[in-house]
Structures are given as structure tokens and as C-alpha cells.
Amino acid sequence: MRFSPGLSASLAVLLSVLLPACEWMPGRPRKADEVVAPTAVMDFSKLFTQNCVGCHGAGGNISGSFALDDPTYLAVVPEEKLRAVITGGVPGSLMPPFSIAHGGMLTDDQITVLVQGISAWKPPAANSSALPPYSAPPGQAAAGAQVYETYLASLRKMAGDAMFADGFLANRAFLGLTSDQYLRTLILIGRPELGIPNFERAIPGQPLSNEQIADMVAWLISQRKNEFGQPLVPVPQ
């Protein structure tokens, strides 16, 4: 009886593969690829791309809401504010709460990772004392109307007509979806990625003052036909 070629072949293959089948093989699972429970993800860029990029731009991506790496924004926003907004959202607005206590999916530690990661995007040279404060009470609506007109006319020249057909910030449905602070934030930082400059360059040569911004916000608030977050009264056609 001859020793079967099949058997010897399989033995040879077995030995030759088993012996060197060590750590370098491509099939070896790597610790870094381990799927961890969602609450155990602690990597900033993972957390950011899983939770924020759908609505906020960053790193060249643009999205419906402002870019979280906007230098003007990072220069003015206090870190506690970032944490508070991520934790509890902006009630009544489209910014959802993320902490588990508020019905979201992130732990407090994960929120800390996000706050620190976003703050780390702040340009080192930023000097926030020269900028208007992040928040301020609304000013005079009547004065704001005038400023807004100049503001709008200037933006129209810079960004073309398409964005202004429905009233821009003064659109009533938009105002019904937007918190007072976000109105201020938007005027402060603009949307540079969409061609809307920040408060400094919106009107060439005349940076908006803190007072002007507060007045504009007051006027915009007066244009809301509803309480923010409440149903808009249907307008008879």
C-alpha cells in the first residue's frame, strides 16, 4: 500500500501553515478594532463624527448648522456653555440633548472628551477680550431694524441673491425654530463657509458693535409671530 499523496499533502500543508501562523497573520484581530459598547467610546474624532457632523460642520465639512471649528465661535464661547449645550441641548430648538440623563446616549465623560476636543480647535492666537461677549441681553428693536437693513444689504452684495429670497434671518418660520442665543451666535460668527462673514467683516470697514448686534437680535425676536418653540399661527392665504 502506497502512502496516499492526499494525506501527505494535507500533512505538509498543515505543518507549513500552523507553524508560522503567528502574530503577523492578517486575520489576527487587533485590539484597536474591538467593538466596544457605545458608552465606552472615548475617541474624540469618533464621538464627533458619530454625534455632531450630521448637523455641524468641521474640518472642511459643511452642514445645516454652524461649523464647530469656527475660529470666531471658539474665541468667544465659554467652555461651560459648550458643556451645558451638549449635555442638555437647547430646549425648544433643533439642538438635541446628548447626556443620558437628558435622554441622549453619551456619558458625562464622553461629553468631557467632546468639550475638550472642540476647545482644542481654538486658534492659539485668539484674543477674546477684543471681541463682543458671547452672550448679552437683547437691545433696542427699533434701532436693530435699521442695522439689520444695512447688514442685509451688505451681505446681499457679498453672497448673491439665492440665500435672501425668503427674508434671511427675518423669516418667521426660521425665527420660530431658532433660539435667541443662536441668532446672536449666527450674527457674531456668520457662516464663513457659506459666504456670510462674521460681525467684523459683514459690513466692510464697520465691525458691528456689541450694541448693534444686541439691537438686531432684539428686532429679529420682535419679528417672531409666536413664542419660540410654540406653534406658528397659520397665516391666512
Partner 1 sequence: MIGIFRNVCLWVDDRLHVSKLFAATAGHHVPKSSGSWFYVLGSATLLCFMIQLVTGTLLAFVYVPSASQSYETLMYLSYEQPLGWFLRGLHYWGSNFMVGIMFLHMTQVFLFGAYKYPREITWISGCILMLLTLGLAFTGQVMRFDEDAYWGTGIGAAIAGRVPFLGAQLVQLMLGGPIINSDTLSRFFTLHVFILPGSVLALISLHLRMVLTKGINEYPKPGHIVRRETYDQEYAAIIKKEGVPFFPKAISKDLVAASIVIFSILFCAAVFGPKMPNGPADPTQIVTVPRPDFYFLWIFAVAALLPVYTETFLLLAGGPVIILILFALPFVNNTGEKSWRRRPVAVITVILIYVVLGILTYLGNASPWSPEMGAWTSATTEKSRVIGRSPLELQGLVLLQNKQCRNCHAIDGVGGHRGPDLMNIGTRLTESQLIRQIIQGGGNMPAYGNKLLPYEVEALTAYLVSLRPEGQPPARDSSVPAVPPKEQSHTSLPPKPHGES
Q: Which of partner 1, ligand HEC, none binds 185 (CB below 5-8 Å, type-dependent)?
A: ligand HEC
Per DSSP, the three-state class of 7 is helix
Min CB(95)–ligand HEC separation in Å: 3
Q: Which of ligand HEC, partner 1, none binds 77 (CB below 5-8 Å, type-dependent)?
A: ligand HEC
CA distance 48 to 86: 11
Q: Is 51 in the site for ligand HEC (CB under 6 A)?
A: yes
How many helices (H) and strands (E) the chain has is answered by: 9, 0
For partner 1, the closer CB: 84 or 141: 141
Among 9, 12, 14, 94, binds ligand HEC (CB under 6 A): 94
Among 41, 95, 100, 141, binds ligand HEC (CB under 6 A): 95
Q: Is 187 in the site for ligand HEC (CB under 6 A)?
A: no
For partner 1, the closer CB: 97 or 207: 97
Q: Which residue has the cell 451645558?
A: 84
Among 182, 187, 197, 202, binds ligand HEC (CB under 6 A): 182
Q: Is 191 in the site for ligand HEC (CB under 6 A)?
A: no
Beta partners for 56?
65
Of 97, 119, 108, 14, residue with least CA distance to 51: 97
Is the alpha carbon torsion for 159, 162, 168, 173 positive or negative? Answer: negative
Min CB(18)–ligand HEC separation in Å: 48
CA distance 214 to 167: 19
Cα distances from 96 to residues 16, 85, 102, 118, in angstroms, run 57, 9, 9, 17
Name the site residues for ligand HEC (rule: CB under 6 A).
51-52, 54-56, 65, 68, 77, 82, 85-86, 90, 93-96, 98, 114, 178-179, 181-182, 185
